[in-house]
Structure 1
């Protein structure tokens, strides 16, 4: 099970594009409403979360995905459930993924030390101990980071590829008419 955490002020494209791609690839992924059952993005799109933070399970967790956006990222940083899930995934070799400003959450948790990572320009200083690359998407072991909303499809593709295979990720992109 993958958990995609949503907090009020999340960047809609950064959450919904990877979620859609993961579900097309038949990955089991649930959204988790950090700030409530209904979560409103930074552009006023409201999404009903699948789960509450207390409903997540570490028994079958395969990874976590953190979309950026403001104040969504700040709200993620405040969540004990996000911190516990991200650290658990990282320490157990599971996918730990964040896009835009959200890699700062991973940086603040010490997850990016010694890792190649990227983020939205201006958040580099929050990637504590990381080697900032400025790439659209960066995959370093099981840690996946991406730059911003325009990279959401590439971010989703990287997650599917790491979780399943390049072949499946390429098929999902092809079916979606992505180059």
Structure 2
């Protein structure tokens, strides 16, 4: 499985890079995609070099997309026509769509949350569309995985990895001393 992390300026460091870290520890192909240019600045002013750019067609070859939260990263993802197009296409193909913190607001704008169980950072529920909001750390419904916020970054990443290999989840958890 190939995983694409969508990084917009202002993304939450923990939510974007924890997923990259855990998946790469598990030897899963995980690439970061920027909305423009190659350098992305996190919400905490950390500069990150992305692997690829979202404008290429290559992203369609991936099996999973991840949308981190953080501000204004989540609104930058939500307001990108290209991101919304990709979210809709992945949903139509029943590929994995993962979003954490305020990241799920892009799923709401894409119109894919109808009747789904979804979580997000408190205060963004009104931007999720007509979904069933769940006050839980990580929620899975069909092909959509959502996480509540920065504290959910590790469990969220392990939930994504569990869709690839439960054996790798156990191996990486053990190596990271995560219980």
C-alpha displacement of 1:139: 0.7
TM-score, normalised via structure 2 length = 0.95
CA pair 15-58 structure 1, distance change in 2 beyond 3 A = closer
What is the aligned partner in structure 2 of residue 107 from structure 1?
108
Residues 2 and 61 of structure 1 are in contact (CA less than 8 Å); yes or no, is this contact kept in structure 2?
yes
Q: Which has the larger displacement, 9-18 or 164-173?
A: 164-173
What is the aligned partner in structure 2 of residue 81 from structure 1?
82
Residues 118 and 146 of structure 1 are in contact (CA less than 8 Å); yes or no, is this contact kept in structure 2?
yes
Residues 4 and 64 of structure 1 are in contact (CA less than 8 Å); yes or no, is this contact kept in structure 2?
yes
What is the CA–CA distance in structure 1 between the aligned matches of 2:174 and 2:114, rounded to whole Å?
Answer: 35
What is the CA–CA distance in structure 1 between the aligned matches of 2:88 and 2:169, rounded to whole Å?
Answer: 26
CA pair 3-175 structure 1, distance change in 2 beyond 3 A = same
Q: Give CA-to-partner distance per residue, 1:4-39, whole Å, 9 cap, x none.
A: 111110000000001111111222111111142100
Structure 2 residue runs without a partner (length 5+): none
What is the aligned partner in structure 2 of residue 98 from structure 1?
99
What is the CA–CA distance in structure 2 between the aligned matches of 1:72 and 1:137, rounded to whole Å?
Answer: 20
What is the CA–CA distance in structure 1 between the aligned matches of 2:111 and 2:52, rounded to whole Å?
Answer: 26
C-alpha displacement of 1:55: 2.5
C-alpha displacement of 1:60: 2.2
C-alpha displacement of 1:77: 1.3
How many residue pairs match? The answer is 178
Q: How does 1:1-179 map to 2 (within 5 A)?
A: 1-162=2-163, 164-179=164-179
Runs ≥4 residues deviating over 3 A: none
Structure 1 residue runs without a partner (length 5+): none
Secondary structure of the 2:71 match is coil
Q: Give CA-to-partner distance per residue, 1:27-58, whole Å, 9 cap, x none.
A: 21111111421000000111001111223425
TM-score, normalised via structure 1 length = 0.95
What is the CA–CA distance in structure 2 between the aligned matches of 1:112 and 1:171, rounded to whole Å?
Answer: 33
Secondary structure of the 2:31 match is strand
Residues 101 and 147 of structure 2 are in contact (CA less than 8 Å); yes or no, is this contact kept in structure 1?
yes
What is the CA–CA distance in structure 2 between the aligned matches of 1:3 and 1:59, rounded to whole Å?
Answer: 10
Residues 66 and 97 of structure 1 are in contact (CA less than 8 Å); yes or no, is this contact kept in structure 2?
yes
Q: Which has the larger displacement, 74-83 or 50-59?
A: 50-59
